[in-house]
Amino acid sequence: MTRLFGTDGVRGLANQTLTAPLAMRLGAAAAQVLTEGRASDDRRPTAIIGRDPRVSGEMLAAAMAAGMASRGVDVLRVGVVPTPGVAFLTDDYGADMGVMISASHNPMPDNGIKFFSAGGHKLPDSVEDEIERTMGQLKPEGPTGTGVGRVIEEAPDAQDRYVNHLANANIMDLSGIKVVVDTANGAASRIAPKVYAAAGAEVIAIYDQPNAYNINDGCGSTHMDKIQEAVRKHEAHLGLAHDGDADRCLAVDAEGNVVDGDQIMAILAVAMRDAGTLRLNTLVATVMSNLGLKLAMQREGIEMVETQVGDRYVLEELNASGYALGGEQSGHIVVPKYGTTGDGTLTGLKLMSQMALTGKSLQELASVMSVLPQVLINVPVSDKSAILASDKVREAKEQAERDLGDTGRVLLRPSGTEELFRVMVEAAAEEDARKVAGQIAAIVAAV
């Protein structure tokens, strides 16, 4: 049986694979699992629901609220807010669980459902598995009368709570910094420009007019060409690009060069080390981070711990070991002191604060790390387990690693959502990376 939950919640084509009846059942099961034992004689369990602006979010949020209320949970709908806003509000309101309806950077027709436990934490695999098992065992009937949960359709102070939280995140005065912000017509369209301007920056917002249908449409962190053009046009000091639910942030320097999540982590890690706030002198990243990040951290005397791909695995390592900074190349940056998940708006604030503190340009700050050429080939396969067990693939990988030495790397991994096997190679020269990746991809395809 295919697992319902993927690497970041449940995702699919809205009204086809991700339907309102499915959302209602999922909401009922999640409410049962995440609020078990939390009710009392004078208090029903509570849940927060937020969403990004895509049209199907209205339908799915309503279905999710109905499912949770049918199991005796009171629901507060907080409207359009970023994913990190829902995580924060789950904790700030003292709710027992939180739900974000969003497909992140995916196209508008897709949607997704992400869950948070009390305190605003993403769920471990074991809890997601329990929710799936509970869905298959749900009884159609639930509590009656006063046992039915309430649904409160509006939380007028929700956005203000989140904005104030960001404003209190130890941010420098950003006066004198001109920034272009691409909010992907998404969940941060109102919040991110407002927060940056309140900190003193001169803000030029683009793709900040969501209409339920234009989220991620040729804009945001997956279409960096738009913000590169805008930064050059407006002669800005930098550009910041978010995705649809604003848990990511990628940047562009004044020359229009992309500064990815690895480079942002390098900048912040060095800054936090110098400030004495990089706990245990360690950065947490995933195995997909560029080898250039590891080499830069070694040069700076900073330890680096790697996890499997997915920001929730970064979060698990941060929480388990007490580290203070982690993230992904894609722009999910987590600073546990200020949030329980990646927060693109906070990342933008921290990046500009370092520019203000040091007086350096983003290009100068990003030079702490040299990005090694990285080639990724997605190979269609029919049996991912056969690839993992193949001696030919293993031998090819080992030989390539010997040939590349300390300035190269090979990473092979199956896709978690598609019938693909990913071949990623880094090398000092792009030509070498392409050659090695092509050779290994051919062997994978022949298995």
436 inside domain:
yes
184 and 324 part of one domain: yes
Q: Is 41 annotated as a binding residue?
A: no
Mean pLDDT score of the chain: 94
Please report the pLDDT score of residue 46 as a whole number: 97
Residues 183 and 110 in one domain: no
Helical residues (DSSP H) of 204-281, grouped into ranges: 224-234, 261-275
pLDDT band per the 50, 70, 90 thresholds, residue 1: low
CATH number, domain containing residue 287 = 3.40.120.10
In a domain, 317, yes or no: yes
- Same domain for 294 and 357, yes or no, is yes
Instruction: Check whether residue 110 and residue 182 sit in a common domain.
Output: no
Question: Looking at the domain assignment, is residue 224 inside a domain?
Answer: yes
What type of residue sits at position 299?
R
Lowest mean pLDDT among 53-67, 161-175, 270-284: 161-175
d(CA 187, CA 204): 17
Is residue 163 domain-resident?
no
DSSP 80: E
Place of tokens 């040729």: 218
H helices within 37-82, ranges in order? 56-69
Of 166 and 419, the structure prediction assigns the larger pLDDT to 166
pLDDT category of residue 8 using cuts at 50, 70 and 90: confident
What is the three-class DSSP state of 54? coil
- Is 2 within a domain? no
Considering the domain architecture, whether residues 404 and 325 belong to the same structural domain is answered as no
Q: What percent of the chain has pLDDT over 70?
A: 99
Catalytic (active site) residue 104: yes
Among the three residues 313, 348, 366, which one is the final residue of a domain in this structure? 366
168: exposed, middle or buried (Cβ count in 10 Å: 0-12, 13-18, 19+)? exposed
Q: Of how many residues is the chain composed?
A: 447
pLDDT category at 419 given cuts 50, 70, 90 is confident
Residue 21 lies in a domain: yes
Q: CATH no. for residue 426? A: 3.30.310.50
Question: In terms of domains, do 424 and 325 share one?
Answer: no
- Same domain? 356 vs 261: yes
80 and 127 assigned to the same domain: yes
Averaged pLDDT for residues 368-392: 92
In a domain? residue 161: no
**Could you report the per-residue pLDDT of 31-69, keeping only the tens digit for each?**
999 998 777 777 899 999 999 999 999 999 999 999 999
**How many other C-beta atoms can be found within 10 angstroms of the C-beta atom of residue 300?**
16
Is 405's pLDDT higher than 90? no
End residue of a domain, out of 339, 366, 393: 366
Higher confidence at residue 203 or residue 447? 203
Q: Let me know whether 335 and 429 are in one domain.
A: no
Is the whole model's pTM more than 0.85, yes or no? Answer: yes
DSSP state of 350: H
Is 74 marked as a binding-site residue? no
Say whether pLDDT at 19 is over 80.
yes
Q: What's the pLDDT at 416?
A: 67
99, 132, 155 — which closes off a domain? 155
396 and 335 share one domain: no
Q: Which of 207, 211, 230 is nearest to 219 (CA)?
A: 207
Predicted confidence band at 417 (pLDDT cuts at 50, 70, 90)? low
Residue 15 forms part of a structural domain:
yes
Res 421 pLDDT > 60: yes
Question: Structurally, how many domains does the chain consist of?
Answer: 3
Query: Does the pLDDT of residue 415 top 90, yes or no?
Result: no
Q: What number is the average pLDDT over the span 406-412?
A: 89
What does the pLDDT average to over 227-235? 98
217 is in an annotated binding site: no
**Domain boundaries, position 404:** 374-446
At 328 the pLDDT is 96
- pLDDT for the residue 32: 94
33: number of Cβ within 10 Å: 22
Q: What is the pLDDT of residue 414?
A: 87
| 131 or 38, greater pLDDT | 131
Mean pLDDT of 197-224: 97
When pLDDT is averaged across residues 158-162 and rounded to a whole number, the result is 95
How much is the pLDDT for 16? 96
Q: Is 104 annotated as a binding residue?
A: yes
How much is the pLDDT for 178?
A: 98
Range 72-89 average pLDDT: 97
Mean pLDDT across the stretch 357-375? 96
pLDDT band at 130 (very low <50, low <70, confident <90, very high): very high
Same-domain check for residues 284 and 309: yes
- Phi/psi for 33 (5° steps) reads -75, -45
Full DSSP string of 402-425:
HHHGGG-EEEEEE-SSSSEEEEEE
- 330 & 185 share domain: yes
List the catalytic residue out of 56, 70, 102, 104: 104
pLDDT tier at 164 (50, 70, 90 boundaries)?
very high
Residue 172: predicted pLDDT: 93
Mean pLDDT of 213-240: 97
